[in-house]
Structures are given as structure tokens and as C-alpha cells.
Amino acid sequence: MQLIATCAFGLESVVNNELKKLGYQIIKTENGKTTFEGDFLAIARCNLWLRSADRVLIRVGQFEARSFEQLFEQTRSLNWEDFLPEDACFPVDGKSVRSQLFSVSDCQAIVKKAIVEKMKSKYPIKWFQETGALYRIQVSLLNDMATLTIDTSGAGLHKRGYRQLSAEAPLKETLAAALVSISRWKPDRPFIDPFCGSGTLPIEAALIGRNIAPGLQRDFIAETWPDYPKNIWHSAREEAHNLIISNQPLGIFGFDIDGSVLNMARHHAKLAGLGNSIYFQQQEFNKLRSKYKYGYLVTNPPYGERLGEQDEINALYAGMPEVFARLDTWSFYILSAFPHVEKIIGKPANRRRKLYNGRLLCQYYQYFGPKPEVLSGPFSI
């Protein structure tokens, strides 16, 4: 099959690297999605292992659709009967961007009708009750090209299962994992997030450090499909369990000025199976120090949403040069929408990358430290 891994804009190369690591061949990369080849096992493995993708979709077909007649006929020509059982529940979602068929509701209705007509060619019934498993279909129109997919994930892949409590302006798990991946942090180095909030960045780093599949504690919609071999999901989960490096030492530290969110962070780490693997402490940013000579500081500091007062935000960023000077052999990775970060720090970043935190355009500032002389571990508090 052709499968699609969707993601936030700017994370396509991160998802591509994850897919290549899993052994899958990439066919095409576009804004917000990567098409690749895979089978039923690939669907299970990618849902379990992809850290930075939003969803895994089956691509049923793609074609030009400039009229409703084209959309209907081309949709009806696809092999829906190979995917949908007789009692399938198949709602149709839609979106349209820069296309002549701009009425999303009409496109959804036409696709639904075309699928029903195709299903009638296999199942000799006039009315489909849709009482069975859920197959969520999407028709996506971009520049008059229609792509029809079936969602295999269900809830978005950022829903790992460990974050049950909410904090103000939380960082999405998929973006947090991407920030760690882009930094190229390795578990033999200390890792600090001085604005850790409810713990998402340190937890995602720990999952990477221990090679724990991020989807291991949750279910996926494709698991409910009657024609999907159950032994495949069992095999994929067994593989993921066997690949965990449970004895990997970690030096991951999360700090925040707010003690209440740190209680959430500890709770979330415990739910993720990492309760004793991450050190959380209430501490002001300007007091940050480390006994380790080399390390990675990866963070998403507040830029208006959490502290509210602009004077406080300005003072926080103004204190960065002094803190970073104390960690002059460390590498720093800062995701922020705050203006003039490089000017405040006093030097340009080695690299900058545009990323979206939700709908907010941010820059990911990357400052590379010197190459370490020796390994940092084993770690101690």
C-alpha cells in the first residue's frame, strides 16, 4: 500500500528520518506529509514508533477533480471494497485549498455517495447500516488534486497516553520529540529544560533515550478493523517491548518556577513509566547551573502566554546571556516566538528553523557547543 505520515509544517525531514530508521522507502515529501510504501505491519509499527508525525493514513487514491462529476466517477473507480467491510462505519471529512471544488460539505457528500455505489457492486444491499468498525475517510483537495485516505491512527499520535493533566500553553508531544531529534541529543549527555512546565520535553527525551516507542501505551483505530490480522499488532508491540533499553542511564533535568506544574510533570513521567528517570525541581531560571561540563539545554521558554506581563518576559530573556555564560561548553536549543532572541543572547544562532507551535510561527534557535572530550555519564543529582 501507499501510506501517508502527516505532520506539522517544518517537521517533514524529521518524520522522513524516522521512517527511514524504521526501514521504509519514501515516495514523496510534500508540505505537511510524506508518502511511503508499507504493508499492514508498517501501519502498526509506524503508529507505535513515529514520534513527530500526527497521523498514519492509507492513501486509497489521488486524481484531478475540477468538477463534481470527476470527483464522483474517480472516487467510485477506487477499490473501496478491499478496505471496507459490509458493516463499516465510514464518515467522510474534507478540506479544500485553492481548488475549484471549494464547498467541503458538497465534496464530502459526493465522496460518500460514490463509495456507497462502489460498495453496492460487492455487497448486494441497498442500504448500509454502518454498525461496524470505524473507517474515517478524508477527501483533501489541493490545487484541484483530490487525495482520498483512510485514517489508521484514530486520536492524533501526540496523544501518547501519559499526559492526563493540562497546563497553560502545553507543548505538543510530537513537536517536543522533534525538538529533541533536531538537537541530536544522545542519552550519554545531560539534558536540561529550564522551563519544563508539565514535563513534555524531558519525558519525550527520556522516551528517545530509552528507545521506548511513544505509542506503546495507547490503542489505534486500525486495531478495531475486523480484516486486520490481530497477530500483526501483537508482533509489532512485542518488537517494541524487546527494543526498550531499560538500563540506559539518563541525566535528564526539568526545572520550572511553578511548583504546581512540576507536580503534573512528575505525575506524567510516572504514567510514562519514567517516574525515577527524570529529575524535576522548582527553580528560577537565573539560578540555573550544572556540574556537568558538556550537555544540551533544549527548551520552549514563555513568550507571552504563560507569564502575561511583557516586562517579566523581557527580564527573563535579558537574563539568558548570564545563564548561558555559566554553561559556555553546552549546546542550546530554544524554540521561541519572542522577537530578537539572537540580539538578546548576543550572537547569531548556528542554525535557525521555522516551526509552528500550534498556529504560532516560531524560530528554533540552535547554538552548537564544542565537541565533548569525554562522556558525561554515569549521572548523579
Question: From start to end of the chain, where are the E strands?
Answer: 2-6, 26-30, 33-37, 55-64, 92-97, 137-142, 145-151, 191-193, 252-256, 278-282, 296-299, 331-336, 351-357, 360-367
Answer yes or no: pTM beyond 0.85. Answer: yes
Write down the pLDDT at residue 313. Answer: 86
Write down the pLDDT at residue 70. Answer: 97
What is the per-residue pLDDT across 66-108, written as a single tens digit (0 to 9) for each?
999 999 999 999 999 999 999 999 999 999 999 999 999 999 9
Write down the pLDDT at residue 307. Answer: 47
What is the per-residue pLDDT across 196-212, written as a single tens digit (0 to 9) for each?
999 999 999 999 999 99
Q: Which domains are seen in the chain, by residue range?
A: 2-151 (3.30.2130.30), 173-210+247-367 (3.40.50.150)
Identify residue 112 by its one-letter amino acid code.
K
Nearest alpha-carbon partner for 358 in 10, 1, 3, 5 = 10
Task: Pick the range with the lowest mean pLDDT from 84-88, 274-278, 355-359, 376-380.
Answer: 376-380
Q: Look up cell 482520498; give the residue.
A: 148
Write down the pLDDT at residue 341. Answer: 93
Three-state secondary-structure class, residue 61: strand
What is the per-residue pLDDT across 42-75, written as a single tens digit (0 to 9) for each?
999 999 999 999 999 999 999 999 999 999 999 9
Overall residue count recorded for the chain in this entry: 381
Q: Which of 268-293 are b and which e, b meaning 16 or more Cβ less than 10 Å from the residue's Cβ? A: bbebbbbeebbbbeebebeebebebb
Q: What is the mean pLDDT of residues 24-29?
A: 96
Question: From start to end of 210-359, where are the E strands?
Answer: 252-256, 278-282, 296-299, 331-336, 351-357
Is 283 within 8 Å of 257 (Cβ atoms)? yes
Omega of the bond leading into 378 within 30 degrees of 0 (cis): yes
